[in-house]
Amino acid sequence: MRSWSIRWRMTLWYGMMVALLVIVFGASVFVLTLRRFSTRVDFELAEEMHELQLEVIGEHSRERLLKELQAEFAEHQSYEFEILQEDGSPLFRSQRLHSLPLQVNGPSETWPTELETSEVRLKGLGEYRVMRQAAKSRYGLLLLQVGIPLQPMRDVESELLKAMAWFGPLILVLAVSGGYWLAGRMLAPIQSITETAAEITAQRLKRRIVIPDVDDELSRLAHTLNEMINRLDRAFDDMQRFTADAAHELRTPLAVMRTQLDVALRTERSPDAYRSVLVSLKEDVDRMSSLAAQLLELAREDAGVESSTHERVCLRNVLQEVAQHYQSGTNQRGVTVQLSAGAAAHVHGDKERLRRVFLNVLDNAVKYTPDGGAVSMVLEVSSDRQHVQVVVTDTGSGISPRHLPHVFDRFYRADPARSSPLGTGLGLAICKAIVASHGGTIEVESPASEHVLPDDAKADARSARQPVNGNTRGTSIRIRLPLTAT
């Protein structure tokens, strides 16, 4: 079942609200008008009753009273009058009433002593509103009654109902038409946003939605969508660069291997020559295997499908294992690894993946530290005991400022030929992904750059370290992880 468009739904709701307001307003006007009319009628009846009471009480002669009543009240233009004696017989009655009583009354004991009103229908005269009150006179107890026709009020009711019947639907039609037009004007920017968004594809990610000048919900929506498109654009650019870099990294060793095989097969060679070619091919195969493994690991981290067992991990024990792993190999070059770990800080995560992070960082530090240098690993707990920090510092050359912003970029190396045997350029990118999955941050700082690079800087650029002003300066990698409660 096809649902209504937002424009029609807004129009329908707007029409329903206007209809409700018209009904409430019309009913209020109708009730207030009739109430005011009724109050006015009762006020005028009370005035006439007061005049009738003065006339009855003031006259001492019965004949003179009847004469005065006949003169003043017999043929009144708007009112009808009736005076009943205590036995129920009429003392006086307006000419239009003839023998029609304004009210069928009971015995005098039931006559009201205070003003009382009611509505009656008189044959041939229509509806009347009657006010009555018992009054004591020289002639005994009398019941004074004053009536006024209700036809004028009924005419007012009829006119109001006709006006509501005519103007109510007209107002509703105008409101619905105006609401439909207004909804169209309000939704026009959304239509523009929809059309622009429909034109944005993977090949046209540079297009952006025009943001209205006013600061309202639609402008914020357009701004949010543009920010989302910017993120998608950057993601597509990163993916394209990653694909191109991966293809380049794989193509280069393949081309070298093909060349070596072509040269080896071109002429007969000695077993030692063939062995040399096979050894070279094995090195290239090992490098390609390592690259493929790192690509797979990075893809798993990006997709969030890296299988891991989260547990309580003692970082001090992990760092001790990593430091011992490098002690034997670094001593051949005279590079020492120093570990300073005080408290046994614990984090919640995957021990093996965290171990790979510190192995990778320490491997880079040792690799780019000159013979006889030193690498230090310091474990610190923040003063608020919310985070733990591991700082790995070497005494190698610093990182040049122009390379520092890219140290976490995938495949980034300072070697323009991209054929450096020092690494694939994925190590620190993998470290960043693993640390981020554990809710932490990784930063790099170098005296050569004179600033700290935040976590969103990129790539394995340790080969970018170069002497600055003739002096060799070290680099520090700072890893920060949430500390678990003890």
* pLDDT 10s digits, 303-321: 555 555 678 888 888 888 8
Q: Report the share of the chain in percent with pLDDT over 90.
A: 2
| Homologous superfamily of 311-482 | Histidine kinase-like ATPase, C-terminal domain (3.30.565.10)
Mean pLDDT value of segment 202-209: 74
pLDDT at position 86 is 84
pLDDT at position 46 is 92
Residue 330 has pLDDT above 60, yes or no: no
pLDDT at position 43 is 92
Out of 43-47, 115-119, 145-149, 237-241, least confident range: 237-241
**pTM (two decimals):** 0.48
pLDDT tens, residue by residue, 82-101: 888 888 888 888 888 776 67
CB within 8 A of 453, min separation 6: which ones?
A: 404, 405, 407, 443, 444, 445
Out of 305-309, 360-364, 441-445, 464-468, least confident range: 464-468
| CATH fold for the domain made of 6-155 | Beta-Lactamase (3.30.450)
Considering the domain delimited by 217-303, tell me its CATH architecture.
Answer: Orthogonal Bundle (1.10)
The domain locations on the chain are 6-155, 217-303, 311-482
